[in-house]
Amino acid sequence: MAYAGTEKDGHNGAPLSERDDLYRAYWNASVDGLFAVEVTPQGQFLCAGINAALEAATGLDSRQTRGKRPAEYLDAHTAQSLTRLYRECLAAREPITRSLVLELPSGDRAYDVSLVPVRGRAGRIELLLGRAQDITDLDMAEGASRSAQGLLRDVLTALSTHLAVLDRTGRIVLVNEAWRTFDRERGAGDCVVGANYLESCAWAAGDGNTDAALLLDGLQRVRDGRSRTFSHVYRFDASSIYQMRATRFDRGSELWIVVTHDNVTAADEAQRQVSTLTERLLDIQEEERQRIALELHDSTSQHLVAVQLCLAALSQGRATDQTLADMREELMEAHREIRTLSYLLHPPRLAAELLAATLRRFVDGFQRRTGATVVLNLEGDIDQMPFRVQRAVFRVVQEALANAHKHASAKRISVELSRREEGLRVEITDNGRAPKLPIIPGIGVPGMEARIERFGGVLSVTPTNSGTRVSAFIPAGALDAGPDDERA
């Protein structure tokens, strides 16, 4: 017959007869890969035929394989694999199915191969009917799934977050290593896989634990669908603060609740520090406003009072040439102080020119207005720092120069900025009157400290043999500009 490669007739001869249209139609039209193997009395396995579907899938040609042993039309490895499979079926004397990777003309593919032994009149197995199903894509998908599951296990293990998955009853079905370790360290043993987490919370709540009662209520609301998520911050012990989160996941008829516990002690401390620093900055702003008002009152206002007295003398006819000269001098001094104060309060074009150019411009203007000599030395790429750092450093330099001029009457000031691998160092030294010891915070020092501490740095004010030194350091981690760096 054309489709099976044999001319045998009879009920127990070839299972596919040329006269049997039903078998022929199945053989030729099947989308499954079908093949037949003749078993000779000497135990040889000869290809009796392959159908069109298998020809298309494997690249084999039925006309070139008929009557040949596997080794005559397949590579040695594939031929050995098929021959072993044929012998296994003969030994079992019953249908078998095995998965094989075969090297074929169409390429390496994975197959599920099923064999059915067919006996002749004498009872000897004369034919093996085979079916080959290509499972390469399925095998790859299963491999990818196993790989993804392995990756998920590795990710869960690597997480420092304590994580558990609950079913709809509250029973723990999965935990990561962090959760397991934490449970062991607590010595409780009531939060392992198989335990009911809701019951553990209920037991703790019944023992008077208010946090456990809140956790239980939140978990029940998530489980019942009244809320998709729930979170609660609680104090675990005297030194640790944790945040618990529960999230609901619906997958068809299944419900899962993912529970995490994160140690947020450091974040809570950082938040308190931010709040404290914010309050300090607000206090400092208020102090700076009061200081400006005081300087205007104690200095500029006095010059204007002197001018007013001269005007009174002029109106009463008691003015002299000296009176007019005094008026002119007092007005010039008041004007000079207002201009200096205004210049010290506002950095000229820092956002546009960046720190290096702004400092040079500011120092030049400061020298012209005060008569002091300022030596500026800049090292490293300070313009590549985040703008908020540049602004804070400028304000520190600005405040230090103002203090040296107003309160120390300095005539020579040195300003040094050096950006190196470890961070930024700032040093302002003057030859003015040294401050009294101990140095009492004021005159802008708290504001300078707050601005530097915002970036994890430190600032100090110390007397020298010839004046005062202001030193500041900002670590390297705060000096890399990020995508949120502002220019306003």
Q: What is the pLDDT of residue 330?
A: 76
Residues near 202 by Cβ (< 8 Å), separated by ≥ 6? 212, 216
pLDDT digits (tens, 9 = 90+) for 80-132: 989 999 999 999 999 999 888 888 888 888 888 999 999 988 889 999 999 98
Checking if the pLDDT of 7 tops 50, the result is: no
> pLDDT at position 194, please?
84
CA distance 105 to 60: 7
Mean pLDDT along residues 63-71:
91
Residue, of 180 and 437, whose pLDDT is higher: 180
| High-pLDDT (> 90) share of the chain, % | 27
> Has residue 329 been placed in a domain?
yes
151 within a domain of the structure (yes/no): no
Range with the poorest average pLDDT among 209-223, 257-271, 295-309, 443-457? 295-309
pLDDT tops 90 at residue 253: no
pLDDT, position 482: 56
Distance in angstroms (rounded) separating the CA atoms of residues 440 and 234: 40
CA distance 207 to 430: 66
Do 127 and 36 contact (CB within 8 A), yes or no? yes
Tens digits of residue pLDDT in 47-56:
999 999 899 8
Is residue 461 classed as helix, strand or coil in its secondary structure?
Answer: strand
**Which residue is it, tokens 């200081």?**
291
DSSP element (H, E) containing 340 = helix 321-345
Task: Give me the pLDDT at residue 469, please.
Answer: 93
Percent of the chain at pLDDT exceeding 70: 76
Task: Quote the domain boundaries for residue 181.
Answer: 159-263
- Of 89, 90, 87, 109, the residue nearest 100 (C-alpha): 109
Q: When comparing pLDDT for 332 and 457, which is higher? A: 457
- Reduced to 3 states (helix: H, G, I; strand: E, B; else coil), residue 462 is strand
Over residues 407-425, the pLDDT tens digits come to 888 899 999 999 999 999 9
Does residue 96 share a domain with residue 26?
A: yes
Please indicate, yes or no, if residue 296 is contained in any of the structural domains: yes
Same domain, 358 and 487: yes
- C-alpha–C-alpha distance, residues 458 and 257, integer Å: 46
**Whether residue 83 is found in the same domain as residue 165:** no
Q: Quick one: pLDDT at residue 2? A: 36
Alpha carbons 401 and 407: distance in angstroms, whole number = 10
Nearest to 398 by CA among 453, 435, 361, 441: 361
295-296-297-303 Cα dihedral, nearest 10 degrees: 110
Close Cβ partners of 158 (under 8 Å, ≥ 6 residues apart)? none
Residue 148 within any structural domain of the chain: no
Strand runs (DSSP E) across 397-456, as ranges?
Answer: 412-420, 423-430
Domain annotation covers residue 224: yes
Q: State how far the Cα of 176 lies from the Cα of 228, in Å rounded to an integer.
A: 22
Tokens linked to 169:
């009853």
Examine the domain organization and report whether 362 and 300 are in the same domain.
no
Looking at 313, 345, 377, which one is the last position of a domain? 345
Contacting residues for 130 by C-beta, under 8 A, at least 6 apart:
34, 35, 36, 37, 113, 114, 115, 116
CA 124, CA 13: separation in Å to the nearest integer? 11
Q: Are residues 305 and 357 located together in one domain of the fold?
A: no
Q: pLDDT tens digits for 311-362? A: 777 777 776 777 778 777 878 877 777 766 666 666 556 777 889 999 998 8
Backbone φ and ψ of 441, nearest 5°: -55, 135
Rounded (to 5) percent helix, strand, coil in the chain: 45, 25, 30
pLDDT over 50 (residue 15): no
Asked which of 246, 263, 280 is the last residue of a domain, the reply is 263
Q: Where is the domain boundary, 72, 101, 135?
A: 135
> Is residue 143 assigned to a domain?
no
Number of domains within the chain: 4
3-class state of residue 408 by DSSP = coil
Q: Which residue has the higher pLDDT, 144 or 224?
A: 224
pLDDT of residue 414: 95
Q: From the centroid of its chain, how far is CA 203? A: 37
Q: How far apart are CA 180 and CA 312, in angstroms?
A: 88
Domain identity same for 32 and 70: yes
- Residue 249: which CATH number? 3.30.450.20
Task: Return the SS3 of 280.
Answer: helix
Q: Supply the pLDDT for residue 439.
A: 52
Backbone angles phi and psi of 347, in degrees to 5: -70, 125
Residues 478, 369 share a domain: yes
